[in-house]
Amino acid sequence: MLKPEQVRQNNEEKFNRMVLENHQKIYSMFRRMVPSHDEADDLTQETFIKVYKNLSKFRNESSAYTWIYRIAVNTGLNYLRRQKIRQTVGLEKINVPAENNHSHSGEFQNVYLENAIKKLPSKQQMVIILRSYQGLTFREIGKIMDSTENAAKVNYAHALKNLKRIFDDMGVSYETV
């Protein structure tokens, strides 16, 4: 029988290994949602603190990667909801580029994309980040978000449709000939 101090030491070793193995995916996911490194760092730390607190509940039934992602996604969704509330009550505004030259490529287009993604509902935003930026499969997204593969696909499809509508409202055309 391990003493509490030994359990703690084992947990810390296990935890440090988890951080080193997963921090890149988690950080880059948050970096898509927030404008600065510091905010992404805060959310990454918040996620791993939650991971540590719940370490005893992790039963190896799912992979550590999926489990950590799930915690990160919930942390991210809470953050997006808070942001949406702040935007709704006028505390923060999404910066939309003043220039509008109907560009199809380059950095300008990315800025439009990022701003358009930020206007999506939280779940759709999260699915876009997980699928397009993190490269997860819909099956993995379904597991991480506690839903099904099909629900992830539907969310992603709605997100694409809404992005197209946002671009149309901005006057940006993605139609090709």
Partner 1 sequence: MKPCKQYEELIPLYLVDGLDTAGMLQVKKHIGDCEACRQYQLALSEIAMNIRADEISVPENYGAELVVKLNRRLEKRHTRQKRFLWAIPAFSSVAAMIVITLINIIQPNPNNDQWLKQFHQEHSYVSLSDVGYFGEFVVDDNGNSDDDLITSTDEMSESVAYEIISESSIPEIDRYLMATSNLDDSEFQSLISQMQKDIL
Q: Is 41 in the site for partner 1 (CB under 8 A)?
A: yes
Q: Is 163 in the site for partner 1 (CB under 8 A)?
A: yes
Q: Is 91 in the site for partner 1 (CB under 8 A)?
A: no
- CA–CA dist 14, 21 (Å, integer): 11
Number of CB atoms found within 10 A of residue 121's CB: 15
Q: Is 13 in the site for partner 1 (CB under 8 A)?
A: no
Both structure tokens of 18: 């988890």
The H or E element spanning position 138 is: helix 138-144
Map residue 100 onto helix, strand or coil.
coil
* Phi, psi of 66, deg, nearest 5: -65, -40
Q: Is 157 in the site for partner 1 (CB under 8 A)?
A: yes
Closest distance between partner 1 and the C-beta of residue 98, in Å? Answer: 21
Q: Is 64 in the site for partner 1 (CB under 8 A)?
A: no
**Closer residue to partner 1 (CB): 83 or 166:** 166
| Residue of the chain from 14, 39, 50, 52 that contacts partner 1 (CB under 8 A) | 52
Which of these ranges, 61-69, 74-82, 95-103, 163-171, lies near partner 1 under the rule CB under 8 A?
163-171
Q: Is 161 in the site for partner 1 (CB under 8 A)?
A: yes
**Closer residue to partner 1 (CB): 77 or 154:** 154
Number of CB atoms found within 10 A of residue 154's CB: 15
**Closer residue to partner 1 (CB): 54 or 174:** 174
Q: Is 45 in the site for partner 1 (CB under 8 A)?
A: yes
Number of CB atoms found within 10 A of residue 163's CB: 19
- CA–CA dist 34, 80 (Å, integer): 9
